[in-house]
Every structure is written in C-alpha cells, then in structure tokens.
A and B are shown apart, each in its own frame.
Chain A
Amino acid sequence: MTRLLLEMHDVHLAYRLRRSLLRSDYHPVINGVSLKVHQGQRLGIIGHNGAGKSTLLRLLAGIYAPDRGRVTNHGARVSLLSLQAGFDPRLNGWDNALLSGVLMGMSSKEVRLRLKGIHEFCELGDQMNDMLGTYSSGMRARLGFAVALAMEADLLLIDEVLSVGDQDFQEKSEKAVMHAVNQGCAMVLVSHSPIKLKKWTDSVLTFEKGMICLPAPEKAVSSA
C-alpha cells in the first residue's frame, strides 16, 4: 500500500463577482470534488477551458481554502510547478535562483546547496552572472524549470504542457520529470490535450462543470 499524500473531501468553491457596492453574485467553480493522490501516482485531469482545472490545482497546492469540504495534506511537499516565481529582471541568475527557490518553500541553505545543480541543469554557463533582464525568454524558462525541479517535491502539480526552451531542453526537462516520478514523486497533470495526458499519466479523470466524472470517456482518452 503506497502512502497517501493528499486528500480532497467534498470540496466546494465559488468565486464572488461584485456587481455593485452591496450586491454580488456567486459563480460556482468546484462542486463537490473528492479525490486522493498516492505516492508514485500519475494522475491526469482533462477538462475544457474554464472548467476549473487551475482552481483545482490551487486548492491542491493550498493556495485557496475551500468554501466547503476539506483538503488534507498528509505531510507531503507539494509543489505547483510555477516557473519563474518571483523572478526579478534586475538581479542576476544566482540571486534569482535563490529567491525563487526560497519562495517555493526551500530554506536559503537548501537552495544554496542546490545552486550548483541548478546551474548545471539550466546550461546557462557564465550568463548566470548577468542580469535576468538580458536573458531571452527561453533562458528564463530554463532557469525557472531548473529551480522548480531542485525542490524535490513529493507531489508535483503541473498546469498544462511542459514546453520549456528549445527541443533539446524540452526533452531534457521531460526526462527529468519522468526521473522524479520514477523515484516515487507523484504528479497531477492538468491539461486539455488528451495526447499529452496519455503519454504522461497512468489514469485520467474528466473534469466538467466543477465535478469529476468517472471514468474518462473513451473518445477523449483511448484506454492505455
């Protein structure tokens, strides 16, 4: 029996839309979702734009508190793969890596120990000493990914596709995520692309109107 990492029980969430000073409407986004994530599990969630996929991930990551129901984290290090969090164009690569890593949940000491690995992975070489403002978007993305990967989370939450940098770096980052998963790291991948989900995950849930429909219909994902 693998370790239970995260559990959602009958979670509801509605956004408030302010109409005027006193009146506001509620727009329900999540309507009673229950779900469990175990160690080593690769869960895919498929849904249309606006189905509430990103909201679901934010609930799992602990960014939102549910209106009703509960999200229980059983001591797992959850990381919403948020690339380039807290990046500052006027700081160099090292400072940005440190800042971003600490914001993601590592201590300064932990990040400093991993800086060498981050530097190697992102392949920026001497440009690590240059200010981030001089980087191309691909270079920024590579640095962001290297920091996020250094976190060594128990559960990776990924929103949409992992398209980072050029073809070579993309393959490398995909391999790195696969490696982490093989080491026992669980993953929740949210996407509207069935092909991507089929490749990456071992079970797929369909998410519609704020509810999970079990199991995913055959036309969306041909059974693996």
Chain B
Amino acid sequence: MHRKKKRSDAVYRILQVSWLRALMGLKSESRGTRLGYLWWLIEPAMHLAVYYLAFGVLLKHGGDDYVAFLLIGIVHWLWFSKSIMNASQSIMVGRGLILQLPLHTGIFPLAEIFRDLIKQIVVVVILLLILSIMGYLPTTFWVIYPVIFLLQILLTLPCAGLVAALMPFIPDLRVIVPACLQLAMFLSGVFFSSDLVPESFHWVLNLNPAYLLLEAYRDILIRQQQPDWDLLANLLAALLLFNIFVIALFGRFNRQYARIIQE
C-alpha cells in the first residue's frame, strides 16, 4: 500500500515537472524570435505552400480535395516528426540538470512532447477553422476527432521516448533519426493518396501507423465517413504494448543516464 502511494507520487511529480518545463519552455521560446507564437502557424503554412506547389501545381497530383488533403497530412505529420526530433535531443540538452539534480530522465522527453502537444492543440483549432472556411463544414464525424488525436498521442509518446532513451547510448542516432523521419514521411501518405499505390500493396501501407492515422483524419474531416475501426482497434492494442515497453525501459535505465552522459 505504502509502496503504491510512493509510486503514484513519483509519477505525479514526473508529470508536474514535465508540464512546468513545457510551459516555461514555450514562454522562453516565443521570446527568442521576433514573431513569437505566430511561428506555430507560419511553419505549417510554409510547408503547405511548398508541397502544394510541388505536387499540386507542378506534378498535377490530387484533385478538388487536394489542398485539404495536404493540409491535414502536413499538420499532423509535422506534429509527429517535431515531437520526435525535439524529444530525441532532450536528454543530451538536459545534461547539466541531470548531473546536478536527482531527476527522473523521463521528464526531459515528456516535457518536449507536452510542449509540442500544447502547440498542436492551437494549430488544430485553426486547422478546423480553415477547413470550415474552405467549405468542409463541421459534421457529426468531427466528434471522432479527439479519438484519433488521442491515438496519435499514444503513438508519439513511445516513439519519442524510445529515441530519447537510446540517444545517449548511441549518439549516431542524431544522424539516423532525421533521415528515417524523412523516409517515413514519404511512406505515410502525407502528400499522396492510396490510389497512386497499386491495390496489391495496400496492406503494406496499412502496417504504417502514421498512414492509418492520417487517413482516419481525412475520413472524418474530408470524406465524411467512418474510419476503419478494425484497423484502429488493432493499432490501439499495439500502441498500448509499445507504451508499456518504453515506460519499462525508462524504469530500467533511469539511474544510468547521469553516468552515461558524464562518460
């Protein structure tokens, strides 16, 4: 009983410290640039412009829904990839603190994930507004949005956590991770739809969790249809296992990081 209480206290403290670090990080970050918080919106807009020009105008890919299709893909992919990139360096960046104070190492990637989550919530509100203006008016399908959003959080947490946990052991990941993310973007249907891929390869796409989530977002926001719940249920089960694995990993290696960073 006593032990259980102690453990829940420890978890509560990890969450509290990470949350505060995220909030303070946002505050500090916004003061580091002239446009401050506006960058949360400008950055996805810049990506949208480039991809639209390259794929929509030059390669004449897509159709009537292409801008909305791209917009949804980019906004949610950027969230995923930025969370991972930011979290991946977090333990190395927090080096000074880890050597100064007995902190749980999980705090560092978690703070980065929280930080990107807060930004994303603002970005999503704007995205939904823009979609409405473009004529994709709210439907009852929008109620499903938070479910897919939550699934994406469950995907981001262990991916970002795993990369962050491995980085101090294998510093070479600093080069490998961005390359893998770049590849994964091309495989996740951020700017192409499944009709470009031969029918016989669709099962491969369905093995990619990022692809499944992006398609689910488009199902409910553009196509106004139910997402593929069977696939999403399988995904949920897999993600829960993945989360447990990464949490166990942090439990196992937590006390070693101070030494590894020092050496």
Contact = CB atoms under 8 A, between A and B. Distances in A.
Given A58-B99, A82-B101, A88 B258 contact: no
B8 interface: no
A17 interface: yes
Given A15-B262, A80-B101, A90-B32, A65 B20 contact: no
A107 B28 contact: no
A3 interface: no
Interface string B28-56: 11011000000000000000000000000
B55 to A, nearest CB: 38
Interface string B95-122: 0011111110000000000000000000
Contacts of A88: 24, 28
- Per DSSP, chain A at the interface is mixed
Given A15-B262, A15-B263, A17-B263, A61 B102 contact: yes
Nearest to A78: B102
Contacts of B262: 15
Interface residues of A, number: 27
Nearest to A24: B263
A98 interface: yes
Given A63-B258, A64-B259, A99 B20 contact: yes
Given A85-B97, A85-B101, A99-B24, A90 B31 contact: yes
Given A65-B255, A90-B32, A108-B16, A99 B97 contact: no
Contacts, number: 65
Nearest to B29: A90
Interface in B74-91: none
Interface string A85-111: 110101100010011001111011000
B181 to A, nearest CB: 26
B257 to A, nearest CB: 10
A15 B261 CA distance: 11
A22 to B, nearest CB: 14
A18 interface: yes
Nearest to A79: B101
Contacts of A102: 16-17, 20
A132 B20 CA distance: 18
A99 B100 CA distance: 14
A15 B260 CA distance: 9
A84 to B, nearest CB: 9
B27 interface: yes
B256 interface: yes
B102 A62 contact: yes
B223 interface: no
Interface string A12-33: 0001111000000000000000
Contacts of B16: 102, 107-108
Q: Which of B20, B97, B99 has the most CB of A within 10 A?
A: B20
B263 A18 contact: yes
Interface of A: 15-18, 58, 61-65, 80, 82, 85-86, 88, 90-91, 95, 98-99, 102-105, 107-108, 131
Interface of B: 13, 16-17, 20-21, 24, 27-29, 31-32, 97-103, 255-256, 258-259, 262-263
12 contacts: A61-B102, A62-B102, A63-B100, A64-B259, A65-B259, A80-B101, A86-B97, A90-B32, A91-B24, A95-B24, A102-B17, A103-B21
